[in-house]
């Protein structure tokens, strides 16, 4: 096909799906160590709790903001050693996808892109707080998304 033919297809909107990262940024970040400095004298046998949240909102046209929230709470016995939290966000162009594909991109693919940035922020906060390095294992956001969809479907059939 000629270049002129390619251009006319693009102008007619006949091109395929498009995905682009416009920006990745930290939306919010915090670190608390309410029991320091006494917590540093405790035997280091941490209980780690990780909470993940994802959200997305339409900014305009086919442009979405996706926010991945990661909260890590570490306790020693019943004392909170630290709480580290970040909201890693990204702006994504997602065009020419059907609703199911777009929802999967927003609920799985985009959080997968954001997670390494969130993990680095959490690791940095923890080490700057004087605690041993915390490594967050990779997360299968595809499985998390599928589980959420299953729960949503089960909730609809129960009503």
Check: CB of residue 134 under 8 Å from CB of residue 46: no
Average pLDDT over residues 113-136: 96
- In the predicted structure, residue 158 carries a pLDDT above the cut 90: no
What is the rounded distance in angstroms from the CA atom of residue 93 to the CA atom of residue 91?
Answer: 7
Domain spans, the chain? 16-131
Q: Which of 27-31, 68-72, 132-136, 144-148 has the lowest mean pLDDT?
A: 144-148
Report CA Rg, the chain: 21
- In the predicted structure, residue 12 carries a pLDDT above the cut 50: no
What is the rounded distance in angstroms from the CA atom of residue 98 to the CA atom of residue 81?
Answer: 45
Pick the CATH number of 16-131 from 3.30.413.10, 3.10.420.10, 3.20.20.80, 1.10.10.10: 3.10.420.10
The pLDDT, as a whole number, for residue 40 is: 96
The pLDDT, as a whole number, for residue 5 is: 42
- Pull the structure tokens for residue 119: 């993990």
Please enumerate in sequence order all residues whose Cβ is within 8 A of that of 126, keeping only pairs 6 or more positions apart, or say none: 31, 72, 82, 84, 132, 133, 134
Mean of pLDDT over the chain: 90
HSE value, Cβ hemisphere, 13 Å, CA-based, for 158: 6
Check: CB of residue 23 under 8 Å from CB of residue 63: no
The pLDDT, as a whole number, for residue 159 is: 63
What is the rounded distance in angstroms from the CA atom of residue 147 to the CA atom of residue 159?
Answer: 19
- Pull the structure tokens for residue 9: 């297809």
């Amino acid at each position: 096909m000629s270049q002129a033919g390619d251009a006319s297809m693009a102008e007619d909107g006949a091109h395929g799906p498009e995905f682009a990262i416009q920006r990745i940024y930290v939306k919010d970040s915090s670190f608390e160590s309410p029991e320091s400095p006494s917590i540093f004298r405790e035997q280091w046998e941490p209980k780690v709790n990780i909470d993940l949240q994802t959200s997305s909102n339409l900014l305009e046209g086919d442009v979405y903001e996706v926010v991945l929230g990661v909260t890590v709470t570490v306790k020693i016995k019943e004392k909170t050693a630290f709480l580290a939290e970040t909201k890693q966000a990204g702006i994504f162009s997602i065009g020419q996808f059907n609703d199911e594909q777009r929802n999967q991109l927003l609920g799985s693919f985009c959080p997968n892109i954001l997670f390494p940035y969130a993990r680095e922020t959490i690791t940095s906060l923890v080490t700057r707080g004087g605690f041993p390095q915390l490594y967050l294992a990779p997360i299968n956001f595809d499985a998390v998304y599928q589980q959420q969809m299953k729960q949503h479907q089960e909730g609809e059939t129960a009503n």
